[in-house]
């Protein structure tokens, strides 16, 4: 699925999305903080938006790579890294714009960590499965996968216009106005990640609207055998 063009405007005009979620920080700290040469740890994110996760990883000394469908998002991410993390490109790090649903332009066994933080959710179940297979291909043996994706039962699911398996163009909730979003059940997640060994599958939830609504997300930590 082509990137919804509204994301160009969203990325250029909204200030949110500058900082990573706590779960991602825990993921990186738990797996990679003890590495004696952090620049040797290569981190790739599919659909990195304006680059919050990769900004954090680069500040911590890791080498960051990514592919983002929005040219605006890619430009903003690179500009922030250039301004706030001098030398982030020193070990070959690079961010590109492109379609995450096509074969990823990196060779097999390239990365120690591969990430999807609310990017594959903008695509169909089949497209997401293809992306996770590509992430498995470019991850090194023993490489880690971090996924954060909306869970079924989240506020907004079932409102607006349906678009396929678990997909809605919501007219309520935090995803209203952001195009088509896919909400995943646990069975969906396990099917999507069938190439991976899931080590942790957690559900993170929060209330909104003075506890009138609930937003649920899956957070996955998996490994390539």
2 pLDDT higher than 80: no
Task: Assess contact for 218 and 202: CB atoms under 8 A.
Answer: yes
Task: Assess contact for 51 and 44: CB atoms under 8 A.
Answer: no
For the chain, what is the domain count? 1
14 pLDDT higher than 90: no
- pLDDT value, residue 13: 67
pLDDT average, residue stretch 150-155:
98
Any domain includes 164: no
Instruction: Find, among 11, 8, 27, the residue nearest to 204 by Cα.
Output: 27
Tokens 């079932």 belong to residue? 158
- Please give the distance of CA 10 from its chain centroid, rounded to a whole number: 17
pLDDT average, residue stretch 121-141:
98
Any domain includes 178: no
- pLDDT value, residue 20: 97
Three-state secondary-structure class, residue 202: strand
Three-state secondary-structure class, residue 176: coil
Any domain includes 77: yes
- pLDDT value, residue 17: 74
Domain that includes residue 127, residue range:
6-150+185-223
Any domain includes 18: yes
Any domain includes 165: no
- pLDDT value, residue 27: 99
Which of 6-20, 113-127, 143-157, 165-179 has the lowest average pLDDT? 6-20
pLDDT digits (tens, 9 = 90+) for 63-97: 999 999 999 999 999 999 999 999 999 999 999 99
pLDDT average, residue stretch 200-208:
98
Indicate which CATH number applies to the domain containing 20. 3.40.50.150
Any domain includes 203: yes
126 pLDDT higher than 80: yes
What span, in angstroms and rounded, lies between the C-alpha atoms of 201 and 3?
A: 27
Angle in degrees, CA 171, 176, 181, rounded to 5? 100
- pLDDT level of residue 112 (50, 70, 90 thresholds): very high
Three-state secondary-structure class, residue 185: coil
Any domain includes 190: yes
- pLDDT value, residue 109: 99
- Please give the distance of CA 84 from its chain centroid, rounded to a whole number: 22
pLDDT average, residue stretch 172-187:
96
214 pLDDT higher than 60: yes
In DSSP terms, 213 is beta-bridged to 208
Q: At residue 187, what are phi and psi to the nearest 5 degrees?
A: -60, -40
Write down the pTM of the prediction: 0.94
* Dihedral of alpha carbons 131, 137, 140, 144, sign: positive
Average pLDDT, the chain: 95
Any domain includes 41: yes
């Amino acid at each position: 699925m082509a990137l919804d063009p509204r994301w160009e405007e969203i990325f250029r005009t909204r200030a949110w999305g500058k900082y990573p979620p706590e779960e991602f920080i825990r993921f990186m700290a738990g797996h990679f903080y003890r590495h004696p040469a952090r620049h040797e740890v290569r981190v790739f994110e599919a659909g990195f938006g304006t680059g919050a996760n990769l900004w954090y990883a680069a500040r911590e000394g890791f080498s960051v790579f990514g592919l983002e469908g929005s040219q605006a998002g890619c430009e903003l991410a690179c500009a922030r890294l250039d301004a706030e993390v001098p030398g982030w490109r020193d070990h070959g790090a690079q961010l590109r714009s492109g379609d995450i649903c096509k074969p990823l332009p990196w060779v097999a066994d390239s990365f120690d960590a591969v990430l999807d933080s609310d990017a594959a959710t903008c695509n169909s179940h089949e497209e997401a499965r293809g992306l996770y297979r590509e992430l498995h291909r470019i991850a090194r043996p023993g490489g880690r996968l971090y996924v954060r994706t909306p869970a079924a039962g989240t506020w907004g699911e079932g409102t607006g216009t349906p678009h396929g398996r678990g997909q809605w163009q919501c007219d309520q909730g935090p995803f209203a106005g952001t195009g088509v979003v896919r909400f995943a059940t646990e069975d969906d997640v396990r099917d999507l990640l069938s190439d991976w060994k899931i080590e942790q599958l957690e559900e993170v939830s929060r209330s909104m609207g003075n506890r009138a609504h609930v937003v649920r997300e899956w957070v996955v930590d998996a490994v390539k055998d």
